[in-house]
Structure 1
Amino acid sequence: MFRHLLGFQQVARRSVSGSARRQTKNTITEKQKLFQEDNGLPVHLKGGTTDALLYRATMALTVFGTGFVLYELWNAAFPQKKH
């Protein structure tokens, strides 16, 4: 058991210290231009199709959750009589 922990420790140390850093392109200025341009869209939809889908899914879950809570409150307020 202890031998496995030592092996894991060595693998973890190697992956962190031996990995080379990737050079990525800085896209912050492009994103700033996209989100600051005045095109009539709200900021939560300026990201494109993914933002629109996430927004719609969130709204659908919110409406469903509100309906379910109201249904459960109705059942709690007016329980069915047992025969």
Structure 2
Amino acid sequence: MFRHMNALQQVARRSISSSVRREVNKVPEKQKLFQEDNGMPVHLKGGAADALLYRTTMVLTILGTGYVVYELVKAAFPQKKD
């Protein structure tokens, strides 16, 4: 049992220490993209995914507002029971 734990520790240590180091700091690239003055609003500068999320949010907001108004009108004018 102890041998297996020791072997596992060695494998874990070896794979972590010998891994290839990559550039993970992409903040300067993103800053350059979002600070560029190209006339686009900042919430759409991220590309197609941002545009899709924006449109989806707007559609859900409009549908939700319409449903709330419908429910308020329905509550304000209850149906008469015969």
Do these two structures clear the TM 0.5 threshold for a shared fold by scoring above it? yes
Equivalences for 1:2-81 in 2 at 5 Å?
A: 20=16, 23-25=21-23, 26-81=25-80
Instruction: Output the CA distance in 1 between the equivalents of 2:60 and 2:79.
Output: 28
Segments of structure 1 that go 5 or more residues without pairing to the other structure are 1-13
Q: CA RMSD in A?
A: 2.2
TM-score normalized with structure 1 length:
0.72
Name the amino acid aligned to 1:46: K
* Residue 81 (structure 1) shift: 1.0
User: Counterpart of 1:80 in 2: which secondary structure?
Assistant: coil
Instruction: Output the CA distance in 1 between the equivalents of 2:47 and 2:33.
Output: 10
The structure whose Rg is larger is: 2
Segments of structure 2 that go 5 or more residues without pairing to the other structure are 1-8
Question: Percent same amino acid at aligned positions?
Answer: 65
Name the amino acid aligned to 1:73: L
